[in-house]
């Protein structure tokens, strides 16, 4: 590792810090500078993919924020925790959505990032996707079975946050998704009830109380 950037950072470490530079330090520097080569070298030398910086942000969170897909893929491959949140509850997925990094959102979801995670204000990735008006990200979240009925701290669902831009497209997209979930949940419950009580109830949402339907929705999307 004779890279000039590492050498410079090592010199700074010697002169300005009381301890020698570690592999974790090297990884944090590589992430901060979007240097995939340095990150690879640091990880191969034993650096933890889950090391936190001074702000308690994970390497994956920082990489997702910066938009470097290569770093995100590298960290995931090395075992980074995909759902590690920052101090205010934002996950790497939420941060990637805020920055409109579609490919990183896709990579995180494929790595089993939680689509229904909440920050300290109960804001979900779907809330964020609607806020930035990104239809492609919204569709990725739907494919990951995001729950569209979750309310944030202020009692708002993602539908309530639909902005004027793409309002019709987003509103219809979310409305259709909600209707599909409710219909599937209701059909499942009615099927079970028919088997138990041998009834012939019509397949209609009005047959069941809303709290029962919502409970089934929460279960099927968890």
pLDDT digits (tens, 9 = 90+) for 120-178: 999 999 999 998 888 899 999 999 999 888 999 999 988 888 765 566 677 777 878 87
Bigger pLDDT: 205 vs 147: 147
User: What pLDDT band is residue 180 in, cutting at 50, 70 and 90?
Assistant: confident
Looking at residue 21, what is its pLDDT? Answer: 73
Bigger pLDDT: 21 vs 155: 155
- 98-107 residue pLDDT tens: 999 999 999 9
Write out the two tokens for 196: 């138990």
**CATH 1.25.40.20 describes domain 49-221:** yes
Looking at residue 88, what is its pLDDT? Answer: 87
Bigger pLDDT: 174 vs 53: 53
Write out the two tokens for 60: 């994956």
CB distance 93 to 85 below 8 Å: no
If you average pLDDT over residues 32-46, what whole number do you get?
A: 93
Looking at residue 183, what is its pLDDT? Answer: 74
- The closest of 181, 162, 182, 184 to 171, measured between CA atoms, is 162
- List the domain boundaries for the chain: 49-221
Is a pLDDT exceeding 60 seen at residue 54? yes
């Amino acid at each position: 590792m004779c890279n000039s950037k590492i050498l410079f950072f090592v010199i700074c470490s010697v002169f300005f810090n009381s301890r020698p530079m570690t592999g974790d330090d090297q990884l944090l520097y590589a992430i901060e500078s979007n240097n995939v080569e340095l990150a690879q070298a640091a990880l191969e030398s034993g650096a933890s993919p889950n090391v936190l910086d001074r702000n308690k942000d994970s390497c994956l969170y920082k990489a997702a924020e910066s938009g470097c897909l290569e770093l995100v893929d590298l960290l995931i491959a090395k075992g980074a925790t995909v759902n590690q949140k920052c101090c205010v509850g934002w996950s790497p997925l939420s941060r990637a959505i805020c920055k409109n990094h579609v490919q990183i959102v896709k990579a995180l979801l494929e790595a089993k990032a939680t689509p229904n995670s909440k920050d300290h204000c109960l804001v979900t990735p779907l809330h964020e996707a609607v806020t930035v008006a990104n239809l492609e990200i919204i569709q990725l979240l739907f494919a990951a079975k995001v729950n569209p009925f979750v309310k944030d701290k202020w009692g708002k669902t993602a539908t309530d946050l639909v902005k004027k831009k793409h309002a019709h497209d987003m509103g219809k997209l979310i409305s259709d998704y909600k209707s599909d979930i409710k219909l599937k949940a209701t059909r499942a419950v009615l099927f079970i009830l028919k088997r138990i009580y041998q009834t012939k109830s019509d397949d209609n949402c009005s047959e069941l109380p809303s709290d029962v339907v919502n409970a089934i929705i929460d279960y099927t999307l968890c």
